[in-house]
Structure 1
Amino acid sequence: MSHDPTHLARLRPTLTRSISPENFDGSPGGGGRATEGTGAEAGRDLGQGWKISPSVDVKAGETFTLAEIDTAGVITHIWVTTHPDNWRTLVLRAYWDGSEEPAVEVPYGDFFCHGWGVFAQVDSQMVAANPHGGFNSYWPMPFREGARLTLENTSDTDARVYYQVTYEIGGDHSEDAYFHAQWRRSNPLDEATPHVLLEGIEGQGQYVGTYIAWGVHSNGWWGEGEIKFYMDDDDPVSGFPTIAGTGTEDYFGGAWNFDIPGEGYTAFTTPYLGMPQVIRSDGLYVAQQRFGMYRWHVADPIRFAKGLPKVDIQALGWKSAGRYLPLRDDIASTAFFYLDRPAAARPAAPDYDAMEIQYHAGPGPLSPIGPARTEQA
């Protein structure tokens, strides 16, 4: 699971496998055998082995199993792509070691740092997003008995999805923690109330990453708020955490409003932190600004022994006389962590209405950004 390049020369008792629509179970010699699939018509003159099954159609309202593995191993890479209209209508889930409860339950786009249905280049260690919507995850996802990854389509339109899940089988994962990711949205945020990223997590582990899709609902600066990690025996009611940040832009690695003088908000993407997305008002339907930010605690994981009672972040701007102004923004967060158990306390599952991006103008023409839900006559 190391990202140390020296491990590439080390011989190990493991084998690489890959699951895709060209090899649904990852079996040895099982790739390229399809005689029917989404590419069959294009390959009708070439036949078997010529991109006959490169993708799947996830039917409206249904859940598709991307990968099912029945032995110990670790997922090392996920590549996936689908139309941008589907980025906030699909829900990605992962289950470890036969658990009935998902450890990962996140809107597809948010998992890959794309909560707004609009593409932005992401050049980071753990997530890479490349033109136009080639999404990659390098989060190590170990399991001791088996794994299952699914995609739920919450819309009323079928979604065509191309994907590849690469993993290793074998090896000893008895001391590895399980990968988790949870999504929460506040829209709008309650008055003078922090947005909750995690709550009620029990067990030993480490918090390793945050992605936030932040929609501003007012004029002025919005990122003065602090992130707080209540760890182990900390009492969230007291308001006194073990780790308290100094500001939103500070936590995501920027400073002074992400503002290069004369240029305004400036997008950036680096191995462990960034604000790759700045969506400015278009003077019509996109009336307010939208931002996408990530912070990977890979070089500096936040380790806890008993649990994380709460992780939250404030939304603060400024009002007159140099006073803070609590804001009521649209904040959608994805929290990434490893835990000593395959299931944890989590919020209600994301559904279509909870995930919807409110860019629409009503029954008339749609804004060029954001998915549309078609209504049946």
Structure 2
Amino acid sequence: SFDGYPDGQVQAPVGDFFGSASGINPMDTIPMIIEPDGTMTCRFLMPFEESCEIVIDNLGAQDVNLVCSVSKIPYQWDDDKSMHFMARWRTDKETAYPSTSPDKFGLKDMTYLLTQGKGVYVGSALTIYNPSPIPMVQGSWWGEGDEKIYIDDDTFPSFFGTGTEDYYGFSMALDYRIMSPYAGQSKNDGPANRGFASNYRWHISDPILFLEKLDFYMELMTSDGIEKIEDFYYARIAYYYARPGITDDHVLISKDDVQYIERQPWLPELGSRYTGSAFHQAEDVIEDANNTRLIVDNLWADEQMLLWTPTVVGDEKTFNLDVTVSGNYKLQIVAANTPSSGKMSAYINDGQVNFYEVGRMGPTVLIKDLFDPYSTVSRSLFGTNTVWLNVGQHEIDIVYEGKSAESSGSDVGIDFLWLQKQ
């Protein structure tokens, strides 16, 4: 709170304030830095004329230990020009998409900020939890909605964007992390767009000035054909500078607002676009389970993931998948990316599988590196080969191909496999 403002110009959960929740999601941006050890740094300048009070309020049940520091510099307050820093957080829990609106995409406007007065808008951050059970972007994508920013006396928005993913700087439904100094996605649980995701956008080089008012909305909208998803969690924070006397629509944060959001148990579903395909839990179809164990967590389908720890390059595991309809198929593998993961290749009936190197497009590779430097995430490995498979049982061989120098282990974690009918 600056200069005696009654409820604090900055109000947000700690992780959300630093632009990346839930959890510790390392990122290095112009105004915000999160380091792997949990150190968080904010570099927004926060002017005040007479006083500044910083309060950390523990609304949870557990004890929390904090080490905090503040950097101070001389500043001459200007009664005609100086502004206070504002950070306003809000959340919608248990919402649904597509919504029940008459629009065929189920469009729903999510309010970021409604404010009256003079100021400068300098950034946004978003955290979502998406419970979609469809492990493909075409079945779980949520970010087609556009930003709409009304300035002063606008009757039509001055800013009318082309998609949430464009606003946050990655231009399509990416299912992996991408970060830059000004915009990015610092977290994506996966597979596809399921689970928790965090996005940020800093208007440092493109600040949005307003003299009388600013209204900021982001549409929550999916792509065509996605089934209705319930219990979608959508939390966002708006950062801006404002002249004293400004008012906005902020509501004080309650304990209910910051209740822990748990991943829910799930099983993969095909959705309407993938008829004829089938999922196979790795632990159910592995031929030899030596040197494997099950990791229990709701990140994984059916609450468990098969973790294999090979000992030498060339070790392999065989999975037997049944095909009930002859046809052309592509292999998809949902695997764990962790700080202790190694590299792997895959074969269908002795034919090697090409995978996209990153995500679901671009260059292909025969060996996939499952290493992630910071966290454990679920990633879809998209095979590009189309293979004819007759009715019957078919062997999928996964081969250990070593590890990167940065990895702390040789783990190969497989959640489930699926043959996607073409």
Same fold (TM over 0.5): yes
Q: CA deviation at 1:297?
A: 0.2
Q: 1:233 is matched with which residue? A: 153
Contact 1:178 1:342 survives alignment (8 Å): no
Structure 2's unaligned 5+ residue stretches are 102-107, 266-295, 300-374, 376-422
> Deviations 1:130-182 (Å, cap 9, x if unpaired)?
01211000000001111111111112232211000111234344322110010
Q: 1:152 is matched with which residue: 57, 65, 70?
A: 57
Would you say 1:275 and 2:181 are equivalent positions?
no
2:6 aligned partner: 100
The 3 A distance-change label for structure 1 pair 234 and 329 is farther
Q: Which amino acid aligns with 1:247?
A: G
In structure 2, C-alpha distance between the alignment counterparts of 1:306 and 1:189, rounded to whole Å: 31
Any conservation in 2 of the 1:272–1:295 contact (CA below 8 Å)? yes
Q: Secondary structure at the match of 2:222?
A: strand
The question of 1:180 aligning with 2:86 is answered yes
Counterparts of residues 34-45 of structure 1 (less than 5 Å): none
State the match for 1:348 in structure 2: 251
Counterpart amino acid of residue 236 in structure 2: S
The answer for the alignment partner of 1:298 in structure 2 is: 204
2:305 — aligned with what? none
Q: Can you list the C-alpha shifts for 1:35-75, whole angstroms capped at 9, x where unaligned?
A: xxxxxxxxxxxxxxxxxxxxxxxxxxxxxxxxxxxxxxxxx
Partner of 1:46: none
Say which one has the larger Rg: 2
Match of 2:235 among 328, 332, 346: 332
Partner SS for 1:102: coil
Report the Cα distance in structure 1 between the residues aligned to 2:204 and 2:230, rounded to whole angstroms: 30
Q: Residue deviations 1:261-290, cap 9 Å, x none?
A: xxxx121221111111111259xxxx9422
Instruction: Tell me, yes or no, if the aligned pair for 2:47 and 2:77 is still in contact at 8 Å.
Output: no
Are residues 163 and 98 of structure 1, via their aligned partners in 2, closer, same or farther at CA, if it must alter by over 3 Å? Answer: same
Once residues 121 and 50 of structure 2 are traced to their aligned partners in structure 1, the CA distance between those partners, rounded to angstroms, is: 23
CA displacement, residues 199-237 of structure 1 (integer Å, 9 cap, x when unaligned): 2x11111110000002224342211100111111135xx
Q: Secondary structure of 1:250's match? A: helix
Cα 1:204/1:329, change in 2 over 3 Å = same
Q: What SS does the aligned partner of 1:141 have?
A: coil
Q: Do the aligned partners of 2:20 and 2:199 also contact (CA within 8 Å) in 1?
A: no
Identity %: 26
Q: CA separation in 2, counterparts of 1:152 and 1:213?
A: 21
Counterpart amino acid of residue 194 in structure 1: D
Cα separation, partners in 2 of 1:326 and 1:195, compared to 1, 3 Å: farther
Find the counterpart in structure 1 of residue 161 from structure 2. Answer: 245
Distance 1:140 1:324, change over 3 A: farther
Is the contact made by 1:178 and 1:339 (CA closer than 8 Å) also made in structure 2? yes
Q: CA deviation at 1:353?
A: 2.0
2-side partners of 1:173 and 1:270: how far apart?
33
- Residue 165 of structure 1 aligns to a residue whose secondary structure is coil
For residues 279-330 of structure 1, give each alpha carbon's deviation from its aligned partner in whole angstroms, at most 9, with x where no partner exists: 1259xxxx9422100000000001111011x21111111234xx99898731
| TM, length-normalised to structure 1 | 0.62
2:14 and 2:58 map into 1 onto residues whose CA distance is 10
The Cα of 1:97 is off from its aligned counterpart by 1.1
Indicate if the aligned counterparts of 2:142 and 2:222 stay in contact, CA closer than 8 A: yes
Distance 1:360 1:138 in 2: 32
Shift of 1:339: 0.7
Q: 1:266 to 1:298 in 2, by over 3 A?
A: same
1:140 is matched by which residue type in structure 2? L
Read off the aligned partner of 2:183 and give its amino acid letter: L
Displacement of 1:106 after TM fit? Answer: 0.6
- Inter-partner Cα distance in structure 1 for 2:62 and 2:228: 41
Structure 1 stretches of 4+ moved >6 Å: 323-328, 365-369
C-alpha contact 1:184 1:333 (8 A) present in aligned 2: yes
The amino acid that maps onto 2:166 is: D
Match of 1:196 in 2: 111
Q: How big is the shift at 1:195? A: 1.0
Measured at CA, do residues 255 and 281 of structure 1 come closer, stay the same or move farther in structure 2, by a change above 3 Å?
closer
Say if 1:145 and 1:169 are closer, same or farther in 2 by CA, change over 3 A: same
Q: Displacement of 1:188 after TM fit? A: 2.8
Say which SS state the counterpart of residue 228 (structure 1) adopts: strand
Look up the match of 1:257. 173
Distance change (3 Å), C-alpha of 1:170 and 1:120? closer
Contact 1:276-1:292 within 8 A present in 2 as well: yes
TM-score (norm 2): 0.55
Q: Structure 1: any 5+ residue segments left out of the alignment?
A: 1-94, 259-264, 370-377
Structure 1 residues 162 and 358: alpha-carbon distance in aligned structure 2, compared to 1, 3 A threshold: same
- Contact between 1:316 and 1:325, CA under 8 Å: does it hold in 2? no
